[in-house]
Amino acid sequence: MKQLLIIAAILFVASSASAQIRIGKRTINVEKAVQAASDAATAITLSDEDVAELCRESIEWMDANNPVAAPDSEYSSRLIRLTENLKDVEGIPLNFKVYEVVDVNAFACGDGSIRVFSGLMDLMDDDELVAIIGHEIGHIAGHDVRDAMRTAYLAQATRGAISSTGGGLAKFTDSQLGDLALALTDAQFSQKQEFAADDYGFKVCVENGFNPYGMSSSLEKLVGLSQGAKAPIVQKMFSSHPDSARRAARIKETADNHQK
Ligand SMILES: [Zn+2]
């Protein structure tokens, strides 16, 4: 029996004194991010490095708390084979792992980590899988993770400003710190960002000799699945990827034009 991904079960308990987030038994050090917050008037100054560090620590925790496929497993071998030419994006080295969970999902973090769930791998052929991986890389290339983090942070800075006096250092509550970390693993992207990531997925397919229709095909498959028995396990992917039918049609047109 495969384990269900436990992201949703994450409980954030933070120590307000030490600027660390406790997730389960693990303590995530967010001092750097909080320091960045305190030093600046707005979240705009949250650097790529700050976000990458938060991503790195979140991913470390995720890897420790999810069933990562063994390096010599079929899942890992397939992922290694499909991503052998995908070394870095925007100078950020990429790393890939499979979580052996039933969920149909994949996600990226700003530190270059891509995680693909075996439930997704079971449903997609190689072309579709490369397209989805390319899509996730696109979210890194577009700095979408960083932007989601910045948005979450801005919202918090605004709330924090209400309780702070005389422009003093903003004090984050435990739940605000929890929100900040959650923004990394549960980011909601805009349709514009999703379109751009779809374009990136298409590009990755074409440039690496995979089917130009991999992206549209994967989206069409997800649309179909959302209407069938597997609806509950594709729900999560859909909640963060709105309007998949429209996206599928749009990127199929791109592939049609490429073929001409
Ligand atoms: Zn996306």
Q: Are strands 95-99 and 92-93 parallel, antiparallel or unpaired?
A: unpaired
Residues 122 and 254 sit within 8 Å (Cβ to Cβ): no
Report the SS3 class of residue 99: strand
Catalytic residue among 53, 57, 128, 136: 136
Report the SS3 class of residue 190: coil
Q: Which two tokens stand for residue 123?
A: 């449903």
Cα(2) to centroid of ligand 1, in Å? Answer: 25
Backbone angles phi, psi at 86, to 5 degrees: -100, 85
b/e map 137-150, b = 16+ CB within 10 Å: bbbbbbbbbbbbbb
The predicted structure's pLDDT at residue 181: 53
CA gap 198, 26 in Å, rounded: 35
CA gap 97, 95 in Å, rounded: 7
Residues 146 and 110 sit within 8 Å (Cβ to Cβ): yes
Distance between start and end Cα atoms, the chain = 47
Cα(16) to centroid of ligand 1, in Å? Answer: 33
The predicted structure's pLDDT at residue 40: 44
CA gap 122, 126 in Å, rounded: 10
Cα(175) to centroid of ligand 1, in Å? Answer: 26
Q: Where are the domains of the chain?
A: 7-259
Instruction: Read off the amino acid at residue 12.
Output: F
Report the SS3 class of residue 2: coil
Residues 12 and 21 sit within 8 Å (Cβ to Cβ): yes
Report the SS3 class of residue 142: coil
The structure tokens 């008037």 sit at 41
Cα(214) to centroid of ligand 1, in Å? Answer: 15
Cα(169) to centroid of ligand 1, in Å? Answer: 35
The predicted structure's pLDDT at residue 9: 30
The structure tokens 């997800």 sit at 222
Give how far Cα 199 sits from Cα of 8, 105, 203, Å: 29, 19, 6
CA gap 229, 241 in Å, rounded: 19
The pLDDT profile of the chain, 260 residues, written as one tens digit per residue, is 334 443 333 333 222 333 344 434 444 444 444 444 444 444 345 666 766 666 776 777 778 878 999 999 999 999 999 999 999 998 999 999 999 988 888 888 888 999 999 999 999 999 999 999 999 999 999 988 777 766 666 666 555 533 333 333 334 444 554 555 555 556 678 889 999 999 999 999 999 999 999 999 999 998 888 777 767 666 555 555 557 888 999 999 999 999 88
Q: What is the DSSP string of 148-170?
A: HHHHHHHHHHHHHHHH--TT---
The predicted structure's pLDDT at residue 259: 81
Q: Give catalytic status of residue 207 as yes or no.
A: no
Cα(41) to centroid of ligand 1, in Å? Answer: 30
CA gap 171, 34 in Å, rounded: 9
Cα(34) to centroid of ligand 1, in Å? Answer: 27
